[in-house]
Amino acid sequence: MTFLSRLALALAALLLGGCEQSPAPALDQQLYIWQRQWTPAHGLALRQSQGDFSTLRVLALQAFPGAGWRRARIDPALLKADGRPLIAVIRLDGQLKALDQDEIIGQIQQVLGDWQAQGLTPVGVEIDHDAGNARLPAYGQFLGQLRHSLPANLRLSITALPAWLDSPALPGLLETVDSSVLQVHAVSDPRQGLFDPKQARRWAQRWGELTSRPFYLALPAYGVALLTQESGMPVVESEVPIDRGGERQELLADPQQVAGLAADLRAAPPQHLAGLIWFRLPLAGDRRAWSLTTLGAVARGDHLDSRLALQWQQQDGLYDIRLVNQGNLDSPWPQRLTLTVGACDGVDALAGYTLQQTPGLLTFTRIQEGRLAAGSQRAIGWARCTKIDQGGFNVYP
C-alpha cells in the first residue's frame, strides 16, 4: 500500500470517528418527599435511598382554597445529615381562584428563610400549580415576578401538565423558569388508570421538541383507591383514609410498565430530558407505594423479579408458616399455595387466606387482596404436624 493510500484510509477513519455521536449522559434520578408530617421512618428511608437518588424535592408549603396555608413539618436535622441537594416544593392548589402574587412570594421567602435558619440551603424552588390553559398567561407573569424576587443562584422550576402542550402561552411560560417537571401520572380521568407508558412517552417527546431548557419527567411509584359515589364520579383516596362507605378499587402504578418506559427513555431520551423524578419516597408500612427496594431496582434499571416462597419455623411440632418475597419486586399475594406435610392434628390459616387439609397436603387459598413488599414476609398459618417436607411447596400466582 502506498503512502497516499495509507493517508487516505487514515483520513477516512478520522472523519468517520468524528461523525460518531458520544453516548447520551445517564439520566439523573431524583425523589419527591411528599409527606406533610415527618416521622422517624423518614430517617431509615433517607438512608436507604442515598445510593440511587441524587436530589430531594421536598414538599414545604401548600396553599388551599378557603383553608389558607399549611407547612409541611419537615425534620431539618434529618435533611441536614442527609446532605443531598434540596429543592423546596410549593404546592398551589389548582382550585385557587387567583394567585395573590405578593402574598405567595412573601410566604415562599419566609419558608426559605426558616429553612436557612435551620441549617438547610436549598438549591432551588419548585412551584406545583395545576393551572388551566386559560390561566397560563397570568401564571407566567407570576413566575416572572417570583424569578426576580429569588436569589440569582436559586433555580426555579415548575411542575407542568401535558394539557399545556396545546397552549400558545406555553413557550413563553417555560422561558421564565430554569427547568420544568412534566407530570405524566394522575393527569387523566382516574377511572382510566394512573399511568399510560405509551402516552407518557409521546408527551415527553413533544415536550422535548417544544422546550429549549432542561426538563424532567415525574414518574409514579404509588397507588390510590377509587371510592364510588352515587353520582358515579369517583373520589380518590391516597395517603389519608376517607371515612366513607362504598366500593373501593385499588389502582397501583405497575413497576414493570414504568421500568419499561424508563429503559426506553435511557436508550433514546427526548431532547432536553435531564432526568427522572420519582413520586414518592416510600416509608415503612406505606400501603399505597412501592417498597424502596422495588423503587431502587426500577431506578437503576435492574431486572425485576418476585421470588415467592414458603418458610416455616418449628417448635415442639408446631410450625409457623410464612410467605416470603425474596426478590426485588413487590408482589400481590398469590392466589394459592400448597405445602407437603406429614400427619397433622391441627392446622389453621391466618388473615387473608383459608386453609384446606387433605392427606399429605395443605392448600392455602387467598380470600382477600394484598401485597407483599420485596424482601418482606407475612405469616399465613400454622400447623401441628409430624413433619413438613423441605422444598415441598408450590406457589400459584
Rg, Å, the chain Cα set: 26
**What are the backbone angles phi and psi of residue 189, rounded to the nearest 5°?**
-55, 125
Question: Could you tell me which residues are beta bridge partners of residue 70?
Answer: 62
Q: Give CATH superfamily name and number for 28-222+249-300.
A: Glycosidases (3.20.20.80)
Contact call for residues 182 and 162 (beta carbons, < 8 A): yes
Of residues 232, 129, 203, 217, the one with CA closest to residue 173: 129
Pairing of strands 28-33, 55-64: parallel
Q: Where are the domains of the chain?
A: 28-222+249-300, 308-396
Asked whether 158 and 126 are in contact (CB, 8 A), the reply is yes
pLDDT (tens place) for every residue of the chain, 397 residues total: 544 444 444 444 444 444 444 445 689 999 999 999 999 999 999 999 999 999 999 999 999 998 899 999 999 999 999 999 999 999 999 888 889 999 999 999 999 999 999 999 999 999 999 999 999 999 999 999 999 999 999 999 999 999 999 999 999 999 999 999 999 998 877 677 789 999 999 999 999 999 999 999 999 999 888 777 666 667 777 666 676 666 777 889 999 999 999 999 999 999 999 999 999 999 998 888 999 999 999 999 999 999 999 999 999 889 999 999 999 999 999 999 999 999 999 999 999 999 999 999 999 999 999 999 999 999 999 999 999 998 899 999 9
What pLDDT shows up at residue 185?
93
pLDDT of residue 95: 87
Which amino acid appears at position 200 of this protein? A
Residues 6+ apart with CB under 8 A from 63: 69, 90, 91, 92, 93, 96, 104, 107
Cell numbers that stand for 300 in this block:
437503576
Cell of 63: 396553599
Q: Please choose, from the candidates 298, 275, 301, 279, the residue with its C-alpha nearest in 3D space to the C-alpha of residue 26.
A: 275
Distance, in Å, from the CA atom of 55 to the CA atom of 29, rounded to the nearest integer, reads: 7
Architecture per CATH, domain 308-396, reads as Sandwich (2.60)
pLDDT of residue 241: 66
What is the model's pLDDT at position 299? 97
pLDDT of residue 232: 64
Residue with cell 419499561: 260
C-alpha to C-alpha distance for 108 and 140, rounded to whole angstroms = 17
